[in-house]
Structure 1
Amino acid sequence: MVESLAGATLLVHPPVYGRYYGKAVCSKRKPVDICRLPSTEFIGRKIVFSISVPQPRVARLLVPSVKSQAMELTKEVYSYKEKERIPRNIEYQIDTGFDRKPGLWPPENKADNPSLQNPLLRQERMGCGWLGAIFEWEGVVIEDNPDLEKQAWLALAQEEGKSPPPAFILRRIEGMKNEQAISEVLCWSRDPAQMRRMASRKEEIHQALQGGIYRFRSGSQEFVNVLMHYKIPMALVSTRPRKILETAMGAIGIEGVFNVIVAAEDVHRGKPDPEMFVYAAQLLQFTPERCIVFGNSNQTVEAAHDGRMKCVAVASKHPVYELGAADLVVRHLDELSVVDLKNLADIESGEFGSGEPELETEVEDDYDSHSSSMVAVDDIFW
């Protein structure tokens, strides 16, 4: 109590603390703690401090007053701390997930286009009937030979005097841009000019091994014709140069089928980065949630999901059980129908960002309790 008085007193001088003995009613001497503050007087140019020490007979009268002052000062100190800790005017802001300004609820549908004058077309765009398809080139639209890609990298390594990359490195650079693989994974060079030269040379080797022969994968041509019949916009995405893609499409006779073509020159990074697919969706003027990616690897599935798109995996070079992360797995594209695509594009809850909360399971707890009970039985048995 005395310390509170010393810290909260308005005087500059510290209090004088002492102990005096007084006589109580029962005629026994008891120690009494007394705290008195020194008084200051000005006498000429000097400052005189005088301390008045009370007599033991008046100690009982002064103690209650000193304690009461200390208690009041202590209450003031604690009340000041409480005011700093909890302000008086508290405005609780509850995050409801949407803007509470008038006229902005329900939230705006991202798929809507107010510039369209046809209300039926606007309604179709906001529903699951409006979707875009993004295709990978090799292994999805045309037949792919993965061994040619590996042979091209090994031949380039031999030409450049580099050690041949092992099999796990070749699997890791699948779907990457050539420059990205050369600088980040193979670590052959960081010079942009050297990277472009080696990337171009690798594509030349690959084209020489390919022989200029391209053919549709089974079921791909029929599926592309169905999408064209329903006027579903399509985009083609590949890490090959644009010149090679245009030559290949001319060889199989599908010029002008794809509304958008995203080639190696259009992006900085390949898979598993979603840059290619997001850029294709932007060119199609579609929201990512309304796009369906067709690929043939787990890197494609990862990139599509990172870009908030649905993914249909085609089991061309990987078995079906390895592509379980995809939204749908097929062996050939003609197994799909437009109804399947519309079901994948039905994203009313996800578009507004208010999905249902996930339920937590207690599998681990049950397993722990079961294991502990088994241990107890074993202990009793032994």
Structure 2
Amino acid sequence: MVESILGYSPVLRHCFRNVSGKQFPRFQVIKAQAMELAKEPGLCKEKERYRDSLVGLKPGSWPPKNRADNPSLYNPLARQERMGCGWLGAIFEWEGVLKEDHPDLEKQSWLALAEEEGRSPPPGFVVKRIACMKNEQAISEVLCWSRDSSQLKRMALRKEDIHQALQGGVYRFRDGSREFVNVLTRHKIPVALVSTRPRKNLEEAIGAIGIEGVFSVVVTGDDVYRGKPDPEMFVYAAQLLQFIPERCIVFGNSNLTIEAAHDAKMKCVAVASKHPVYELTAADLVVRRLDELSVVDLKNLADIELTEFGSTPELEMDVEEEEDDRRPPSSAAIGDGFW
């Protein structure tokens, strides 16, 4: 590039001798000085952009490290894959995404619990609202049946026992879910499973379907304090997967899941199982079946953009460089004034 700016001149054939006596072609010296001159304005511009965040930083802490990097990985190929768009984790919900959901069973279990406790049966819109919450959270904050921790735990367990009895031990994959999970397994993409169900019931369902050992991480209602729309479950799953949230993709089937995933700074793929597609447009991608997706789609979703790390791409730089290339070479750059 420097040769094109300077143009051809016989002076470039001369050599430069340093103190040790080693000879360097003069064009290499000119090129090195030109790169140094071009480097300083860019560095000053970066420091000016982040001048507020540079206050109090220790020497050597600039430029900022790539959050996707992990220097403890001594294998360069593993480290490169971690920093590339191939590094991603999949976080699945259980009901309505992998397993066929039965909303009537959820409603019947709440109605049966209300009858046992002598409470007013919750309306249909309330049942839809608490469908994605933890049982304790729904009983105390929405239904307002009790605030006592022991009573909350007792009623929550009883509700799950009623649901398990109505389920009858029959579990079935949604169409296309098993095939999609097999694709992720073949490509060695870590998979996490989250659910507000107790761990005992979830492990029973996983064993009944026959997918033990598929999930790298399983987060249940026993592991978190709050359910959706709080992003606690997804954040905890990402921590167990050892991924930053920007590299995780959540698979859900409700707007509460979309809200929780976006609050956790994760991408969300919505499965239109119990809601129509037009009600799930807030998701990053909406599908009717999981097998409609490919690994390329997931990589595109997990590709980190600069805007997610507090900086924006400067498209003007390319235009300025093209304009500089079209300028005629300066005579001052060829003469001794360049030195």
TM exceeding 0.5: yes
Q: Deviations over 1:293-327 (max 9, x none)?
A: 00000000000000000000000000000000000
Which residue of 142, 162, 166 maps to 1:205?
162
Which residue of 37, 43, 51 maps to 1:96?
51
Residue in structure 2 matched with residue 24 of structure 1 by the alignment: none
5+ residue gaps, structure 2: 1-47, 315-339
- Counterpart secondary structure, 1:264: coil
> Is 1:132 matched up with 2:94?
no
How many percent of aligned residue pairs carry the same amino acid? 78
Runs of 4+ in 1 over 4 A off after TM superposition: none
Contact 1:131 1:232 in 2 (8 A): yes
Q: Deviations over 1:131-188 (max 9, x none)?
A: 0000000101110011110111111001100001112211211210000000000000
> Is 1:185 matched up with 2:142?
yes
Q: Deviations over 1:330-357 (max 9, x none)?
A: 0000000000000001113144222479
Question: C-alpha separation between the residues in 2 aligned to 1:98 and 1:254?
Answer: 47
Query: 1:106 Cα deviation (Å)?
Result: 2.9
Question: C-alpha separation between the residues in 1 aligned to 2:95 and 2:82?
Answer: 30
* Richer in strand (by share): 1
Residue in structure 2 matched with residue 170 of structure 1 by the alignment: 127
Question: C-alpha separation between the residues in 2 aligned to 1:342 and 1:278?
Answer: 20
Query: 1:95 Cα deviation (Å)?
Result: 5.3
Question: C-alpha separation between the residues in 2 aligned to 1:323 and 1:209?
Answer: 29
* Amino acid of the structure 2 residue aligned with 1:353: G
Question: C-alpha separation between the residues in 2 aligned to 1:278 and 1:239?
Answer: 14
* Amino acid of the structure 2 residue aligned with 1:237: V
Question: C-alpha separation between the residues in 1 aligned to 2:306 and 2:53?
Answer: 14
Residue in structure 2 matched with residue 260 of structure 1 by the alignment: 217
Question: C-alpha separation between the residues in 1 aligned to 2:293 and 2:49?
Answer: 45
Residue in structure 2 matched with residue 371 of structure 1 by the alignment: none
Question: C-alpha separation between the residues in 2 aligned to 1:94 and 1:322?
Answer: 40
Question: C-alpha separation between the residues in 2 aligned to 1:351 and 1:163?
Answer: 47
* Amino acid of the structure 2 residue aligned with 1:334: D
Question: C-alpha separation between the residues in 2 aligned to 1:251 and 1:239?
Answer: 18
- Counterpart secondary structure, 1:265: coil
* Amino acid of the structure 2 residue aligned with 1:96: R
Query: 1:119 Cα deviation (Å)?
Result: 1.1
Q: TM-score, normalised by structure 1?
A: 0.67
Residue in structure 2 matched with residue 141 of structure 1 by the alignment: 98
Residue in structure 2 matched with residue 153 of structure 1 by the alignment: 110
Question: C-alpha separation between the residues in 2 aligned to 1:167 and 1:251?
Answer: 30
Per the alignment, do residues 94 and 136 of structure 1 end up closer, same or farther by CA in structure 2, a change over 3 Å counting? closer
Residue in structure 2 matched with residue 290 of structure 1 by the alignment: 247
5+ residue gaps, structure 1: 1-92, 358-382
> Is 1:327 matched up with 2:250?
no
Contact 1:135 1:293 in 2 (8 A): yes
Residue in structure 2 matched with residue 194 of structure 1 by the alignment: 151
Please say which structure displays the higher CA radius of gyration.
1
Contact 1:110 1:351 in 2 (8 A): no
Question: C-alpha separation between the residues in 2 aligned to 1:110 and 1:118?
Answer: 18
Question: C-alpha separation between the residues in 2 aligned to 1:120 and 1:259?
Answer: 22
Alignment of 1:104-119 (within 5 A): 104-119=61-76
Alignment of 1:1-382 (within 5 A): 96=51, 98-99=53-54, 102-355=59-312
Q: TM-score, normalised by structure 2?
A: 0.76
* Amino acid of the structure 2 residue aligned with 1:206: H
Residue in structure 2 matched with residue 363 of structure 1 by the alignment: none
Q: CA-atom RMSD, angstroms?
A: 1.6
* Amino acid of the structure 2 residue aligned with 1:231: K
